[in-house]
Amino acid sequence: MKMLGLFSGGLDSLLALRLLELQGVDVECVHFDTAFVNDDRERVVARHVARASSGEACPLSIIDVTTDYLQDVVEGSGGTALDGRGCTGCRSFMLRAADRLARARGIELLFTGEVLGQSAFGQSRQGLRAIEDAAGVVDRVLRPLSARHLPATAAERSGAIDRSGLGDIQGRARRGQLALAGELGIRDHPTPSGNCCRLADPRFARRLRDLLAHRGETAILTSDLRMLRIGRHFRLSAIAKLVLARNAREAGLLLKAPGGDAWSCHPAAGAGPYGRIHGKASDADLERAAALVAHYAPGRAGERREIAFVRGSECKKVLATTAGDESAEALAI
């Protein structure tokens, strides 16, 4: 018996994997990188990869699906993916992708860590079946955590999987998962929650909407999507955006980001945030950016500060009055 599992890095997928391993199933896993997975899940995935490389865990493939996911799920959802209602389309996408990979490896059966009733979007009995229909994987997806509340799959009916050894968890409460984790000795896991994806974060969703609305003819790169996670973002104009670091770590990430021809900015003297301008900024855009840098630098309201802008070998300084709270809020994304 061989199965391919969708590995999110959350507690649910860890539990589902362990239940099948206890039944002697030959398990492989896949993690689809969409650029939207939360940091705690990414850390668990990285730890599993390290354990797999030393033979302490089952094989885990990480596949970058950012471009297809952005097109098919985010843009193809009619906006629902950006207000927390894109889970159904997301799960169908993941199962289709997993099915293609499984068939290429000669594997017929899939499993996920989904729990019946955990989410209003797609995890009802009807929703789970609709997702299988859309993905073309009816009767080939085992959900070990809720299996005893769901119709038996082909693997259970044939006796290849012992249904009595699977879970009977359902509903939104996470007590069942935590209790099972204790029984199975799984302690190194993220806090159980429904927010595995950044698209459920309203602030991140706003930033992504802004990026999609102002990209023009330019293709969106994975680095563009990862940049949405950090700093403060401000829309300076239709063609320019400012990202201001909130700490030294974010400043380091901005310094390493692609786009060496972009303006960087910081106070010409004294402490203050480091920023990067995306897009072809006009002089008016630089003035707005300077006022924002001054706003978040130490000092008094209304104080004038000299802000340095650097682009390659080019350098210019702009004397700016600190932006007020209302001005900063109006430009914030």
pLDDT digits (tens, 9 = 90+) for 37-60: 988 899 999 999 999 999 999 999
Q: Decide: 67 and 44 in contact? Cβ < 8 Å.
A: no
pLDDT at 192: 73
Does the structure show a pLDDT above 70 at 199?
Answer: yes
Residue with tokens 């939360």: 38
Tell me which residue of 58, 82, 63, 62 sits closest to 3, measured CA to CA: 58
pLDDT at 333: 97
Tell me the two tokens of residue 140. Answer: 């080939």
pLDDT tens per residue across span 279-319: 999 999 999 999 999 999 998 777 899 999 999 999 999 99
294 sits in which H/E element? helix 283-296
Residue with tokens 């589902």: 16
Tell me the two tokens of residue 136. Answer: 């073309």
Domain ranges for the chain, please list them. 2-198, 230-331
Q: What is the mean pLDDT of the chain?
A: 92
88: helix, strand or coil: helix
Residue with tokens 């840098």: 293
* DSSP per position, 6-67: E--SSHHHHHHHHHHHHTT-EEEEEEEE-S-B-HHHHHHHHHHHHHHHTTSS--EEEEE-HH
Tell me which residue of 102, 127, 328, 113 sits closest to 234, measured CA to CA: 328
Does the structure show a pLDDT above 90 at 8?
Answer: yes
pLDDT at 121: 67
d(CA 269, CA 42): 38
What CATH class does 2-198 carry? alpha beta
139: helix, strand or coil: coil
Does the structure show a pLDDT above 90 at 20?
Answer: yes
- Classify residue 124 as left (phi > 0), alpha (psi -120 to 50) or beta: beta
d(CA 13, CA 4): 12
CA-CA-CA-CA torsion sign (281, 284, 286, 291) = negative
d(CA 234, CA 328): 8
pLDDT at 79: 66
Q: What is the mean pLDDT of residues 225-252?
A: 96
**Which of 22-26, 53-57, 69-73, 78-82 has the least mean pLDDT?**
78-82
Q: What is the mean pLDDT of residues 4-33?
A: 96
pLDDT at 85: 64
CA distances from residue 170 to 6, 10, 50, 312 in whole angstroms, order as listed = 19, 16, 32, 57
Higher pLDDT, 192 or 138: 138
Does the structure show a pLDDT above 70 at 86?
Answer: no
Q: CB under 8 Å to 245, separation ≥6 — which residues? A: 230, 231, 251, 253, 254, 273, 274, 275
- Partnered with residue 61 across adjacent β-strands are 30
**Which of 137-146, 187-196, 242-251 has the least mean pLDDT?**
187-196
